[in-house]
Amino acid sequence: MKSKNIVSAICLMLILALVAQAQPKPNILLILSDDAGYADFGFQGSQIMKTPHLDRLAKQGMRFEQAYVSAAVCGPSRAGLLTGKYQQRFGFEENNVPGYMSASGTTGDDMGLPLDQLTVANYLQNLGYRTALFGKWHMGNADRFHPLQRGFDEFYGFRGGARSYFEYDDEHPNHRQEDYLERGFGQFEETEVYLTDALADETNAFIERNQDQPFFAFLAFNAVHTPMEAKPEDLAKFPDLEGKRQQLAAMTLALDRAIGQVLDKLKELDLDENTLVVFTNDNGGPSDTNASVNDPLSGTKANHLEGGIRVPFLMRWTGVIDKKSTYAYPISTLDLLPTFVKAAGGHPDTIASLDGVDLMPYVLGNNSDRPHQTLYWKKENRGAIREGDWKLLRFPDRPAELYYLPTDASETNNLATANPEKVKAMYKNLFAWELTLERPKWQLQRKYEGAAMKRMDDYKKK
């Protein structure tokens, strides 16, 4: 009798193994907006912005109430997202933009995602995925940093950090190579199509070509980053707004419409139920340059208040993640790499030095703990640490501030004076983490320092 039970158990295990092998790997679609405000989506409560497609996506899956990026500006934030590691671990602390120089004293093309760092595209490529990036790269302008050298099979977008939404011509004053649209490697070509629409079109073409194999599509919109350039027909839909706010509303509408077209393509090809879709943003909205709104959060892009580092975040995986669900504990875009690798059949626990975690056990309720007890942020001598529900902000020119986020997401009630021991302990923990990091690989050139300090002073006066 015992031998029969053993045989039956072995047979059951074999059947389960065969069933698991027969399950197709999920396609993965990562959609990233650029510089969007925390409150500037319908699913985040906006009564002004029109985002019906993203609102529907939120209802089809899970909305994360406390999603964070690893940096308050786009270059370092993307470096963390792509590697699953705090980008300061490999010296990517500053934006690789004009005004900064490398530690060796050179500027421009010397700056980019270090070549010894693997990206999520590298890992998925090794797991049999066809990988593609559409839109903004901003991980280095030089050929050696190119997306096709970093795990992506296909690329359509631009290497730099920002560009026009309309076609460049030879007379355009902004004609750096990294600003121009590029297909593949070195084939620079402009389009007459509004860029937000063009990126959706290219993503859909990729999905069509690869519908019979697992794919990873990273749709990295430059919307709604400056320049503020909307289509006239979209502007006309917001007659009660004006200036940057009207431009932002129109650009957000175009962004949402383009996302809807990609989601519709998945449905048209019967791929929507086997595609893990994530939508998020690269950092907090810059309320000055594009009039974004981060309510109820304080702060803005480039600082460590919640409005600079907390972002909208949606995840849909039909049949796996419950519809109309929410997740309350803090997560990070550092979690995307291990989550995607695990969903693709890989083993993120074998990847050295990951700071992100596979979110699925938490999302599905199999693990009731927090994905992260502690999260960190750092830029130069400014820093922040969140331990549980407490957050400490460290500044170079004034005492540290302490907030209890469950009752003060707006960070208006500084509790540092009332909790000196907690401030001391969290300050030490932040410093201990910093001791594990590399020195920044580039720094602000001296001629730009005065302007940077003035911007900081102007913000503090508000």
DSSP secondary structure letter of residue 202:
H
Cis link prior to 26 (omega < 30° from 0)?
no
- CB neighbourhood size of 104 (10 A): 8
Residue 48: per-residue pLDDT = 97
Residue 24: per-residue pLDDT = 87
Give one DSSP letter per residue of 249-310, joined into a string.
Answer: HHHHHHHHHHHHHHHHHHHHTT-GGGEEEEEEESS---TTTS----TTS---TTSSSHHHHE
- CB neighbourhood size of 249 (10 A): 24
Cβ distance 123 to 351 under 8 Å?
yes
Q: What are 24-34's pLDDT values in tens digits? A: 899 999 999 99
Provide the whole-model pTM. Answer: 0.91
Within 8 A by CB and 6+ apart from 157, the residues are 133, 134, 135, 136, 137, 147, 181, 182, 199, 220
User: Taking the chain, what is the end-to-end CA distance rounded to the nearest angstrom?
Assistant: 80
* Closest to 145 (Cα-Cα) out of 242, 79, 201, 64: 79
Crossing angle for the helix pair 243-268 and 195-209, nearest 10 degrees?
A: 10
Cβ distance 133 to 218 under 8 Å?
yes
Domains along the sequence of the chain with CATH: 24-372 (3.40.720.10), 375-461 (3.30.1120.10)
Q: Given strand 67-68, what is the order of strands in its sheet?
A: 310-311, 67-68, 331-332
Taking residues 49-71, report their average pLDDT.
98
DSSP secondary structure letter of residue 201:
H
Residue 2: per-residue pLDDT = 52
Average pLDDT over the chain, rounded to an integer = 91
Residue 186, pLDDT > 50, answer yes
- CB neighbourhood size of 168 (10 A): 18
Residue 453, pLDDT > 50, answer no
Residue 458, pLDDT > 60, answer no
Q: What are 298-345's pLDDT values in tens digits? A: 999 999 999 999 999 999 999 999 999 999 999 999 999 999 999 999
Q: What are 378-414's pLDDT values in tens digits? A: 999 999 999 999 999 999 999 999 999 999 999 999 9
Residue 77: per-residue pLDDT = 98
The one-letter amino acid code at 89 reads R
Q: With bands split at pLDDT 50, 70 and 90, how would you rate the model's confidence at 99?
A: low
Residues above pLDDT 70, as percent of the chain: 87
Residue 442: per-residue pLDDT = 84
Give one DSSP letter per residue of 47-108, joined into a string.
Answer: SSS--HHHHHHHHHSEEESSEE-S-SSHHHHHHHHHHTS-GGGGT--S--STTEEETTS-BG
The one-letter amino acid code at 311 reads V
Q: With bands split at pLDDT 50, 70 and 90, how would you rate the model's confidence at 169?
A: confident
Residue 109, pLDDT > 90, answer no
Cβ distance 300 to 284 under 8 Å?
yes
